[in-house]
Structure 1
């Protein structure tokens, strides 16, 4: 029996069909994030191919990238480094780099693969010392210029360096007793002392008079991806800083990915005043610009009041932030042109703000006030094996640290896991019967893990220099099957069903109170949403005669901020403000999560990268004898915050108060 003939489909005019097709494609793209994923995957593919090609050609040392730009007619005269009003083209930077390298070798006999410590503030000198060491095959170790005393001694000692070059500007960190420690012949475990060289104008003059000699390729040869390119230290917020091995592979992959992901163009000018001793500015800003032939503007240090002036004066198109940088910028009064009344906050050519740590409670305020179209937020760690990325130009992924669609999930899914955590032990929970970890349901917070090779972890995770114990401590084994291995991020991340990643908390920051887990990050976001709160740092404090930890928030109110002299007692907030804050937190948080204590302070303690520190605050707790007498303590009684005094602490100690 013949098949019945269906009537022919009517011809649809193109002017009707095209919008319908476009609408369907837009819907599918929004639902599955095809175009967004394509950019992610394309960036990953380019990154991998170029890195492998460089290793195959024995050109992993990034000195060769500088050389290529410097000797190419299309880029030789393109601006590369801008600092303090002066500009160096790629060719000028190359010649200066050769002078530094030749001086290092001639004056100090620095050899290939030798580690050399440098303690410098942001400057063109920092960059040229770094590139100069690479040009002769040496390895720089970046010392945090804020360090003094024991942390400084430790950081230099574990680097094993025999030389420490020091910025004249941080000479104050090197009193006679510190120099005496470094000069001890036993300082380097019997291998001699550390020679401290202060970088004076006379030293700089010697370098710039040195002949720009290019060392033979043999001094840079034989490097493989996992080999150490430099040492960058952890922040040391919970102990002494640890030197993380930053491999050539990480330098290449991080910078190439970011360059492609942000679609950097030769016309872009990236401004960073974040510290170059840290990986955010060193790898993802400076090396990214080097790799992509883009101009980098180096700010000496972060200044909330001068930030936008530097951006405008240097015609920056991309700016970098870290931690609470943007919150500090919002705290500065709006700036108007005194002649025209023009809003100077919006008068810039910035198309993108790039960094990590922009909190959801100020995300859109930053975009609106400073006229920034796109936020490029990422999440990563210096010693980590991977990261997450969120290129956001609308409200869909506002506040997220990463984002992906269906395609990226299929590509990356097997290499990541989110596991349930026991916050008492601060370790992933394991099933008593099987001993394996348990993945959390999609949308719930769990510790983010990255898969690594159990036989050869160093293929992707090089760990900490000369510290196998700390390195092994970041590896979790037998997680889902016998013999597997995963890198522990130590962070609680929530991956929702729409493909957005949100930072929940750092393990150790989440605390238990009233048998409930409390995320300090979520509480801080609620506090940050109150109109009178400039900044809040939330942590758990141990209390006598009580289990778990009670919530405490170090608060900086907007009407005090940094304008008040920190040497005097912080102004007492009005009872109206305190009542309003209590009402705000009790309305938005369950009772167990509402901060039981407030510590009103002049400023929240941060790292050099503007990230809040909690370790000292947790240690001091709410014991009035340990808390600075410049700060004020309050506690929640009923539905109001009232002063917390020594008599109240004595009652707690005596077991007379039940919370």
Structure 2
């Protein structure tokens, strides 16, 4: 009697398993991921309930006590243990205590390339209860000054290799901002932090300096291009930082992993997901000053790397490298990042081995994120009704001509159907707050959409178009408005237009992104209207953009127009310009191309255009 019953039970279980596999093929993957999300949420709630919020710094100090001799940072062959980083960061804190008037809650701007002292200064200032503003080390002149002023710092710390950039603008930096250089010899008007560190003690800093009772207090400012104007300082709270630090753990990384970071630490990916992620795990980070495609796999083999961080361009560069023997001879098992195209994804794993690509999506200042926990090629994440309980979002119809969300006769927005691109938005509420930007509220307000589905509701506008397929996988489709992405960086068109518009012969500059075959994102193009009776000076334009803008923001193409079209609300019309691109056969107006070899803008001929389209000329 028992055997038939057991056989029937087994058969029933098998049928259920087959039905689940057919109708709900990702059930177990979804469940495992959801349990991790719940586990993290419970842990954060327990911290709050105890009245002792735990920060990234607290996690680091715990690791330094638990595993002092374990390598934390490996840089250019030198090993820095958790104890080493703890002591060096304490020296930084004591140096500022001795020689400055920094107080708890002050902001300190940090302009540094990837190097161990970036982490030492960051953690040292955190030990004093200071917020740290990460500045893009590619900024110069006006944009650099803007960022310094935007975060209103009490001090500015500059890496030894970037002192020249600050020296150029030193007279314009507010007098109340003390400038510290990480070099023995610094320009007049700066203090040598390197010399101060030699004399500073490495004693632990009292916890009273940095203990926090509010998990929503600001710990960092990370600059993002946003959708308009110059870079804005996104507010990063202790809560956001501790959540981001769990990213590697959520994908399955462990304390045994060795994580290779070549992405800039001034971005949230390198700093929060990468460095803070290693802290959360108690793992080792191999830090690279700058990404090198030719050295990448050599470094992975040399340091026994098991996980690396990427952006789409990084993987594409690696695939473009000449093939070598033994390309699969490494220990890398996982890569975590965003922005990889499906074709590059397939080529990458085919060429370099069975590496689990963990694609994710998230904006630095945003209140919504996705993680592709199933490994579906091309997707940035996956959703279901349970996931939406924790991460609510919607995809709404977008009017590309008017460059704004589409509204019906009742002035409400409407969701797109599955398979259609829609603007990704996320409700702003107590559970999913949006902390905005430093400075004027208008910057924060510009990222919000009001009265979307009902009166009084508020949504965060990601500025990204997404597609959700029938299986609930989400795919990045494009960026909207006044921002495009090139070389892994967001570029604000207004910033570029303002720089070009400073020239006295230019009346108007309309900047937008255009697609180039074989490249991720879009590269910059500027449509230019000359002032009456003024002539075009290509040499001046080239010198202006190269001297003022980071390399990734310099427009690769110019289009000289006799008049500019505007929208009904008097915004410069970009839709048609983007559609036409830079094809000289479609455009009768003069076109120019930034030739890196000639260091000049040159006429864009059909021959030159064909070479660019075929990939014979690199951008």
How high is the TM-score relative to the length of structure 1? 0.73
Question: Which residue pairs with 1:573 in the alignment?
Answer: none
Question: Which residue pairs with 1:442 in the alignment?
Answer: 418
- Residue 11 to residue 370, structure 1, CA distance change in 2 (3 Å): same
Q: Give 1:66 shift.
A: 1.5
Secondary structure at 1:121 match in 2: coil
1:260 matches 2:231:
no
Q: How does 1:490-501 map to 2 (within 5 A)?
A: 490-501=463-474
Question: Which residue pairs with 2:396 in the alignment?
Answer: 419
- Residue 216 to residue 621, structure 1, CA distance change in 2 (3 Å): farther
Distance in 1 (CA, whole Å) between partners of 2:589 and 2:381 is 36
Question: Which residue pairs with 2:237 in the alignment?
Answer: 247
Give me the CA root mean square deviation.
Answer: 3.5
Distance in 1 (CA, whole Å) between partners of 2:103 and 2:612 is 62
Distance in 1 (CA, whole Å) between partners of 2:582 and 2:133 is 41
Distance in 2 (CA, whole Å) between partners of 1:77 and 1:643 is 52
Secondary structure at 1:363 match in 2: helix
Secondary structure at 1:67 match in 2: helix
Secondary structure at 2:88 match in 1: helix
Q: How does 1:195-594 map to 2 (within 5 A)?
A: 195-201=178-184, 203-204=193-194, 206-235=196-225, 239-256=229-246, 258-336=247-325, 343=326, 345-393=327-375, 397-405=376-384, 407-409=386-388, 411-412=389-390, 415-432=392-409, 434-453=410-429, 460-508=433-481, 528=517, 533=518, 537=522
Question: Which residue pairs with 1:77 in the alignment?
Answer: 69
Number of residue-to-residue matches in the alignment: 526
CA contact (8 A) 2:89 2:121 kept: yes
Secondary structure at 1:11 match in 2: helix
Distance in 1 (CA, whole Å) between partners of 2:250 and 2:158 is 36
2:83 to 78, 83, 91: 91
- Output one character per residue of 1:134-166: Cα deviation in whole Å (capped at 9) or x when no partner: 111111111111110111010111111131111
Worse-matched range after superposition: 475-484 or 90-99: 90-99
- Residue 420 to residue 621, structure 1, CA distance change in 2 (3 Å): farther
CA contact (8 A) 2:29 2:374 kept: no
- Residue 12 to residue 283, structure 1, CA distance change in 2 (3 Å): same
Q: How does 1:60-209 map to 2 (within 5 A)?
A: 60-72=54-66, 75-175=67-167, 177-182=168-173, 187=174, 192-201=175-184, 203-204=193-194, 206-209=196-199
Q: Give 1:17 shift.
A: 7.5
Secondary structure at 1:361 match in 2: helix
Q: Give 1:446 shift.
A: 0.5
Q: Give 1:69 shift.
A: 1.4
Distance in 2 (CA, whole Å) between partners of 1:131 and 1:383 is 21
Distance in 2 (CA, whole Å) between partners of 1:643 and 1:144 is 29
Distance in 2 (CA, whole Å) between partners of 1:104 and 1:326 is 40
CA contact (8 A) 1:542 1:621 kept: no
Distance in 1 (CA, whole Å) between partners of 2:95 and 2:303 is 31
1:39 to 29, 32, 37: 32
Distance in 1 (CA, whole Å) between partners of 2:412 and 2:398 is 12
CA contact (8 A) 1:118 1:164 kept: yes
CA contact (8 A) 2:228 2:483 kept: no
Secondary structure at 1:264 match in 2: coil
- Output one character per residue of 1:270-308: Cα deviation in whole Å (capped at 9) or x when no partner: 111100000011111111111121111111111111111
CA contact (8 A) 1:353 1:372 kept: no
Distance in 2 (CA, whole Å) between partners of 1:407 and 1:171 is 50
CA contact (8 A) 1:34 1:405 kept: no
Q: Give 1:35 shift.
A: 1.5
Distance in 2 (CA, whole Å) between partners of 1:139 and 1:17 is 60
Q: How does 1:578-617 map to 2 (within 5 A)?
A: 597-598=582-583
Q: Give 1:37 shift.
A: 1.4
Q: Give 1:19 shift.
A: 8.6
Question: Which residue pairs with 2:563 in the alignment?
Answer: none
- Output one character per residue of 1:436-494: Cα deviation in whole Å (capped at 9) or x when no partner: 101111221100111112xx69x611100112101011111111111111111111100
- Residue 216 to residue 431, structure 1, CA distance change in 2 (3 Å): same
- Output one character per residue of 1:68-98: Cα deviation in whole Å (capped at 9) or x when no partner: 11222xx333222222212222223222222
Gaps of 5+ in 1: 1-7, 337-342, 512-519, 545-569, 571-591, 601-619, 645-659
- Output one character per residue of 1:104-131: Cα deviation in whole Å (capped at 9) or x when no partner: 2112232111100110000100000000
- Output one character per residue of 1:45-81: Cα deviation in whole Å (capped at 9) or x when no partner: 1222222333444343322211211222xx3332222
Larger radius of gyration: 1
CA contact (8 A) 1:34 1:407 kept: no
CA contact (8 A) 1:366 1:372 kept: no
Secondary structure at 1:362 match in 2: helix
- Output one character per residue of 1:537-567: Cα deviation in whole Å (capped at 9) or x when no partner: 37898799xxxxxxxxxxxxxxxxxxxxxxx
Gaps of 5+ in 2: 185-191, 485-511, 530-555, 557-576, 614-619
- Residue 198 to residue 495, structure 1, CA distance change in 2 (3 Å): same
Worse-matched range after superposition: 208-217 or 417-426: 208-217
